[in-house]
Amino acid sequence: MSTMIRNKPLPPLKGPPPKPKREPRHWSQQIQETVSSAIHEESLSLTLRGGADSGQFVILGSIDHEKISYHGEKLYTDDILLEVQGQKVSGYTLRDATVWIKQVSQNGAPVMIKTVRPDFLTKDLRQYLATRFPKGSVDHDLQQTIRDNLYMRTVPCTTRPPRPGEVNGVDYNFLSLEEFAVLEKSGELLESGIFDGNHYGTPKPPKEPTLPLVRRSNSIGLPGGQSKVGTEGHQRKRSRSGSEMVPEVFEDEYVQPFTRKKSLERAHSSSNLGPLPANWEMAFTEDGHPYFIDMHASQDKLLHLRASS
């Protein structure tokens, strides 16, 4: 009796090995930098949205490209505004950002603007501030910038009793637990937490300033050392940061470490921004910061691309 020999089935053909997934690029590697100037207008023809008073970064709204001269990348609606003429505006109210961009772009003056697409950075300040990042990272620095700008425009609140020398409404708004809970439930706090048994929170700043801006000792301040943006009155001082609710022991926790780079300071070389408007030239300070000179002005008009320290 003959034995039937069966062929063994061939193993299925293997496809090409899967391509390794690329890590998403960090937002600081996606910063768009441009020098823009108004054409036959008093200031740049654009509007802004968002702002810290709405719990968001400052966002570009409508843009009239036909009335703007670009020297580099264009501006795009919905992009997040990071810097205007060297001033870091994350944590600005909508009003303050609008006043600043209008002020520095008057009479066709070129303005350095840095933006990033919302695909790479959330618009929500509360969400961004709630994320833990390593000290020294770009994100940690941006969080500190946001807090510095916020504490110039709002007064933090706490349920702890005042310490000697503290003034209610200046150092903190001292609240009861019930008052704090109502404020937190309403969504008016950009940050909140508990430290040493006490509640702390950072309220959204008001849409219109009710008091002169605070200059903290470690704050980035305002251009020219001014204590206000379109407000009157003397500068209030606060010796502490108002951020006791973010103790250093908590800041050691983080997600997605990212090595600190100067990407926030310079996304692209300023020499690649294309020709400037007529009569304007670019120069550099001793420490490398660019500024623009109006050669036909009665006096050289220096528009520094950084805030005075």
Whether 166 shows a pLDDT value over 90: the answer reads: yes
Work out the mean pLDDT of the chain and round it to a whole number.
Answer: 77
Q: Using an 8 Å Cβ cutoff, are 151 and 170 in contact?
A: no
Can you say how many angstroms the Cα of residue 178 is from the centroid of all Cα atoms in its chain?
32
Count of domains observed in the chain: 1
Does 234 map to a domain?
yes
List the one residue out of 207, 250, 259 whose CA is nearest residue 48.
207
Torsion over CA: 235, 237, 243, 248 (sign): positive
What are the DSSP calls for 241-261, one per residue? -S-TTS-HHHHT--SS-----
- The boundaries of the domain holding residue 132 are 125-251
Interval 40-92: pLDDT, tens: 888 999 999 999 999 999 999 999 999 999 998 899 999 999 999 999 999 99
pLDDT band (50, 70, 90) for residue 259: very low
**How many Cβ atoms sit within 10 Å of the Cβ of residue 294?**
19
Tell me what pLDDT residue 280 has. 60
Does 196 map to a domain?
yes
Q: Where is average pLDDT lowest: 184-193, 204-213, 263-272? A: 263-272
50: alpha, beta or left? (left if phi > 0; alpha if psi -120 to 50): left
pLDDT band (50, 70, 90) for residue 279: low
Does 231 map to a domain?
yes
Can you say how many angstroms the Cα of residue 223 is from the centroid of all Cα atoms in its chain?
16
Tell me what pLDDT residue 13 has. 67
- Rounded to whole angstroms, the Cα distance separating 150 from 154 reads 6
List the one residue out of 57, 64, 107, 63 whose CA is nearest residue 82.
57
Tell me what pLDDT residue 120 has. 96
Tell me what pLDDT residue 110 has. 96
Task: Indicate which CATH number applies to the domain containing 208.
Answer: 3.30.63.10
Whether 18 shows a pLDDT value over 80: the answer reads: no
Does 197 map to a domain?
yes
Does 240 map to a domain?
yes
What SS3 state is found at 130? helix
DSSP state of 31: -
**pLDDT mean over 28-38:** 96
Q: Using an 8 Å Cβ cutoff, are 253 and 259 in contact?
A: no
**How many Cβ atoms sit within 10 Å of the Cβ of residue 275?**
9
Kindly report the backbone phi and psi dihedral angles of residue 204, in degrees, each rounded to the nearest multiple of 5, phi listed first: -60, 140
Interval 210-257: pLDDT, tens: 767 655 433 322 223 333 333 333 334 443 444 454 433 333 333 333
Does 47 map to a domain?
no
Bigger pLDDT: 281 vs 152? 152
Side-chain-side CA neighbours of 227 within 13 Å: the count stands at 14
First CA to last CA distance, the chain: 101
Interval 95-116: pLDDT, tens: 999 999 999 999 999 999 999 9
Tell me what pLDDT residue 232 has. 33
pLDDT band (50, 70, 90) for residue 270: very low
Does 141 map to a domain?
yes
Does 36 map to a domain?
no
Whether 201 shows a pLDDT value over 60: the answer reads: yes
